[in-house]
Amino acid sequence: MGGWGISADEYIVSACLDITALNNWLEPEADYMNIYLLNNPYSNPTHWPTKSLLTTFMDQNSYTETYQDWEIVGQTCTGSGHHRHCIPRYCWVTKTRTVNPAEDFHYDLTSAQIAVLTGYLSDGKFGLGFDPNCHYDDTGMTFTIVTNKISKVSEPATMLLLGIGLIGLAGVRRKFKK
Ligand SMILES: [Ca+2]
Ligand SMILES: [Ca+2]
């Protein structure tokens, strides 16, 4: 997990998570998935690292539809004894079924969550934890962090504040000397 470190002159502008074709394949069974930001990647199976909930995904795009099915509904028989002969009788039957499409998921971190991510990244390492309940699949995910250089314009203001602080300290010292 190298390369995730944010250098001292950068700050995170935005961060987002994208998951393609996310789906609860047992819809409409219990269908939430908690997504966590982890301080460090998940490595020890008995111990979750420090984590913070990003969001809870709910698969709610399923629906029911009716369809026609060509089905055996009985049989028609002729003759009797050894000469009895039956053929199945088919009919169109209206049925319902659940349709549950996969969907692309996008999540933008809030400013509070960006602050947590910045803290987690102080050692250049973080992780994402997915805790589904319990039947999720997807085809891929991307986590994007956008950073910006801390503006040079802010430096004179910082220097000015430091200067005022030093003047104040100098004043205090002079008072003690009197
Ligand atoms: Ca779905
Ligand atoms: Ca970390």
Q: Which ligand has an atom closest to residue 19 CA?
A: 1
CA–centroid distance, 57 to ligand 2, in Å, is 24
CA dihedral 157, 163, 167, 170 (to 10 degrees): 150
pLDDT digits (tens, 9 = 90+) for 26-63: 876 778 999 999 998 876 666 667 899 999 999 999 99
Element (DSSP H or E) covering residue 63: strand 63-78
| Ligand showing the shortest atom-to-Cα distance for residue 123 | 2
CA of 175 to the centre of ligand 2 (A): 46
Kindly identify the ligand whose nearest atom is closest to the C-alpha of 101: 1
Among the bound ligands, the one closest to the CA of 1: 2
- How many whole angstroms from 131 Cα to the centroid of ligand 1? 17
Residue 161 pLDDT more than 50?
Answer: no
pLDDT surpasses 70 at 175: no
State mean pLDDT over 76-99. 91
- The predicted structure's pLDDT at residue 152: 62
Distance CA 173, CA 177 (A): 6
Ligand 1 (single-atom ion) residues, CB below 5 Å? 23, 59, 61, 100
Report the share of the chain in percent with pLDDT over 70: 79
pTM of the model: 0.69
Between 141 and 172, whose confidence is greater? 141
**Ligand 2 mean position, distance from CA 92 (Å):** 61
pLDDT, mean of residues 134-145: 91
Rounded CA separation 58/55 (Å): 10
